[in-house]
Every structure is written in C-alpha cells, then in structure tokens.
C-alpha cells in the first residue's frame, strides 16, 4: 500500500510489519524524511549562497578599473567563489532547513503519528541524520577537492589582474615584474612579512645582478629587506652584504592579505604539509592548526546543527508557530557563529590549544541541543 503522507497511517490498522518497514535502514521513514529534508536544506543552501554571492559581487564592483579588473572578471571571480560559499553555509542550511522541513511535518501531525507508532525521538533523529548523510558526504568532498582549487584560482587571478599582469603566484612562491627586475618571494607570513626573497636585475637579455634577502617588512611605503647578499655580474664579479636594504616593490599589505587568503584554501593534506613546513622553519603554526581542526570539525558541526533543528520540534520550542521557530533557528545559528568567531581568535591570542578553539562552540551548542531535546516543556 502506498502512503503519500504519514497522517494516512492513522487510517491503517496497526501492523507490526509496517512498523518494521519504518525502522528498516532507508525504509519508508528515511525516504520520506529524506525527501523533505534534502529538498528544504538544498533550497536554503542555494538561496544563502546566491544572496552572499550577490553581496560579494556588489562589493567587488568597486574594484573595476583597478589594473585589468573589469565587469566580466568580477563575474568570473564571484562564480568561482560560489561553491565555497555554498559549502560554508551548508551547516546553517541544515539548521534552517531542518527547522522548516521537520516543522512542517510537526504542524501536519506527522511527527505525532510516528511517535504513536512506537518510534522514539532518537529513532526519528537518527532517520533524519541518515537521510542527510549522503548529501553531507558530497558537500564535504566538494569542500575538500573542488573548492580549494576554485578559490586558489580566483585569488590568484585577482592578484594578477589587479597588478596588471606584473604579479603571478606559483607553487614555488610569488613572482613580481618591476621594470627590469624580477622578484621572487618564497613565502609570506600572517603578519605580512616576507621570507626568502630573491631579485634578478636585467639589462635586456643580460643578467646584471642577483640579490637574496632573508626576510622583509613593509614600512613607510617600501620594503626593508634584512641580511641581503648581492652578486653583481660585470667585467668583475662583485659580492656585497647589507644588513638592511630598502626595496620598492609592486606589493603592498593589501595584496599580501589577498595572497595569504590563498593559503586558507588549502586542502587537509595541504594544511598538514604547510604546518610541517612552518614548524621545520621555526615559524608559528597555531593559526593553520586551528584551520586544520576547523576543517575536521565540519561533520560534527553539521550534526550539531541538525540536532538544534530537532530541538525546535521535540523540545520546549515545539509550541511556537513556524515563523517563531525559524527565527529561533536563525538565532541559534547566529549564536554559534558569534561564539566560534570569538573563541577561535582568542585561542590564538591566549595560547589555548587550537583543537579547543575549533571545537568549543560545537561542544557548547551540542550540549544545548541535547538539553532542549531532553526537556519536556
């Protein structure tokens, strides 16, 4: 017998085999909840991504005319960012979509019917998780494979276009063209300083000199390079050393921030490798460890958001109307975001373990979800 709506089960005689089918993996219950949840969550995620993409597009329009940036470049740039925005807002979409989807089922008395058939809150919650699990895997896969490549490409193209082609970003570092000079930068730190800089001075096809600096900092419109070794090629080979030397580069702190954002698009393996590189060179790696743990916490965050949505159906918020539930869901999501944005940076400032900084918000709101689910009134 085909059941289009769980309210129709009221019209059927109690049947042990029917209950067994409801509880079977990906049975009637999972398929029905899955259809409701996946449709709602995807719709919310797409709407959030498009809305954020529109805001980003409007913001980037002000850069038209800078270097080679034009309207069509801004369109391509935002299009490359959309998958990353979708993945970023997917946990929030689970929360809001769960509130709407499960809320509609509760409003239609379908949740009451399921409970009257002997299904517990835990079984309904587990069925909701099972129905979303394949979609979660797909989103996490896209976030780990497609998104880093697209975001790296977008930020790299932005740095090139804004510098009118005088800058390029490669696996070996950043390369700048300054008149007759070619400058290579091995890496940039989070404080905006440079490491391992080399400059080649040319005169047409002839190499005039090669300079290598250990590090550099931006001060008063120029870069102060430290421990600079220079080799001048001419009739005689001349080698010199300056402890501090001033260089003028087509690079400012704003562009350093853009290039540093490329590192934020690293995959899990890329982050692990980069952390190892920083630690081998006695550089601070806490910020990237925090980013690594935040990536690893993504599945947990999705589950926490789902249980927060369930708390609006089974917890004390179930007596609210749909508008109030959605507002409560948005408030919970905003509260999670604010707490995470506060705790994560503070963990770096006060020397807290990065794992704690990445997981504290999930722990707090996970406990809140369990409390709301267990509370009867």
Distance, in Å, from the CA atom of 135 to the CA atom of 45, rounded to the nearest integer, reads 12
Per-residue model confidence (pLDDT) at position 69 = 85
Closest CA to 27 of 45, 51, 8, 6: 6
Distance, in Å, from the CA atom of 79 to the CA atom of 167, rounded to the nearest integer, reads 22
Question: How wide is the angle at C-alpha 336 spanned by C-alphas 319 and 358, nearest 5°?
Answer: 145
Beta bridge partners of 121: none
Closest CA to 39 of 110, 119, 120, 105: 105
Query: Which residue ranges make up each domain of the chain?
Result: 6-162+297-374, 170-249
Per-residue model confidence (pLDDT) at position 15 = 47
Per-residue model confidence (pLDDT) at position 10 = 46
Per-residue pLDDT of the chain in tens (377 residues, 90 and over written 9): 444 455 454 444 444 444 455 445 445 667 777 788 888 999 999 999 999 999 999 999 998 887 778 899 999 999 999 999 999 999 999 999 888 888 777 777 777 777 777 777 777 778 888 888 889 999 999 998 899 888 878 877 777 777 655 666 665 677 777 777 888 887 777 667 888 888 888 887 788 889 999 888 888 888 899 999 999 887 788 888 888 888 877 677 666 665 655 555 677 887 888 788 777 767 778 888 888 899 999 999 999 999 888 887 776 555 667 777 778 888 888 888 889 889 988 888 888 888 999 999 999 999 988 887 776 54
Q: Are 256 and 270 in contact (CB under 8 A)?
A: no
Tell me 120's DSSP state: -
Tokens of 263: 């590192």
Question: What kind and span of H or E run contains 68?
Answer: none
Question: How wide is the angle at C-alpha 146 spanned by C-alphas 141 and 152, nearest 5°?
Answer: 135
Q: Are 182 and 176 in contact (CB under 8 A)?
A: yes
Question: What kind and span of H or E run contains 219?
Answer: strand 206-219
Distance, in Å, from the CA atom of 274 to the CA atom of 104, rounded to the nearest integer, reads 46
Q: Which residues have CB under 8 Å from 343's CB, separation 6+?
A: 357, 360, 361
Q: Judging by DSSP bridges, how do beta strands 222-232 and 206-219 pair with one another? A: antiparallel
Q: What is the SS3 assignment for 205?
A: coil
Closest CA to 101 of 261, 326, 271: 326
Distance, in Å, from the CA atom of 195 to the CA atom of 266, rounded to the nearest integer, reads 20
Per-residue model confidence (pLDDT) at position 78 = 95
Q: Judging by DSSP bridges, how do beta strands 238-247 and 206-219 pair with one another? A: unpaired
How far is CA 173 from each of CA 33, 127, 227, 362, rounded to the nearest angstrom? 49, 48, 20, 36
Per-residue model confidence (pLDDT) at position 183 = 82
């Amino acid at each position: 017998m085909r059941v289009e709506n769980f309210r129709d089960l009221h019209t059927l005689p109690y049947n042990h085999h029917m209950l067994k089918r409801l509880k079977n993996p990906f049975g009637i219950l999972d398929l029905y909840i899955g259809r409701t949840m996946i449709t709602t969550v995807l719709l919310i995620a797409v709407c959030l991504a498009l809305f954020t993409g529109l805001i980003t597009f409007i913001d980037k329009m002000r850069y038209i005319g800078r270097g080679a940036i034009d309207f069509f470049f801004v369109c391509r740039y935002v299009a490359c960012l959309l998958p990353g925005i979708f993945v970023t807002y997917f946990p929030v979409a689970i929360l809001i979509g769960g509130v709407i989807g499960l809320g509609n089922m509760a409003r239609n008395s379908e949740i009451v019917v399921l409970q009257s058939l002997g299904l517990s809150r835990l079984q309904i919650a587990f069925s909701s998780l099972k129905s979303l699990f394949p979609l979660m895997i797909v989103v996490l896969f896209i976030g780990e494979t497609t998104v880093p490549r697209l975001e790296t490409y977008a930020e790299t193209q932005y740095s090139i276009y804004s510098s009118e082609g005088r800058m390029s970003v490669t696996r070996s570092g950043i390369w700048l063209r300054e008149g007759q000079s070619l400058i290579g930068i091995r890496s940039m730190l989070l404080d905006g300083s440079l490491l391992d800089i080399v400059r080649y001075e040319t005169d047409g096809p002839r190499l005039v000199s090669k300079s290598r600096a250990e590090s550099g900092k931006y001060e008063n419109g120029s870069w102060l390079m430290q421990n600079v070794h220079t080799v001048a090629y001419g009739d005689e080979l001349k080698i010199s050393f300056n402890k501090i030397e001033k260089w003028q580069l087509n690079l400012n702190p704003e562009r350093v921030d853009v290039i540093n954002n490329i590192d934020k698009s690293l995959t899990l393996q890329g982050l692990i490798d980069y952390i190892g590189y920083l630690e081998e060179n006695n550089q601070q790696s806490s910020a990237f460890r925090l980013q690594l743990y935040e990536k690893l916490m993504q599945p947990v965050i999705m589950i926490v958001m789902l249980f927060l949505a369930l708390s609006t159906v089974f917890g004390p918020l179930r007596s609210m109307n749909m508008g109030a539930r959605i507002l409560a869901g948005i408030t919970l999501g905003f509260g999670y975001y604010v707490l995470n944005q506060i705790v994560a940076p503070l963990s770096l400032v006060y020397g807290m373990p990065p794992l704690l900084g990445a997981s504290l918000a999930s722990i707090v709101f996970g406990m809140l979800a369990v409390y709301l689910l267990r509370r009867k009134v």
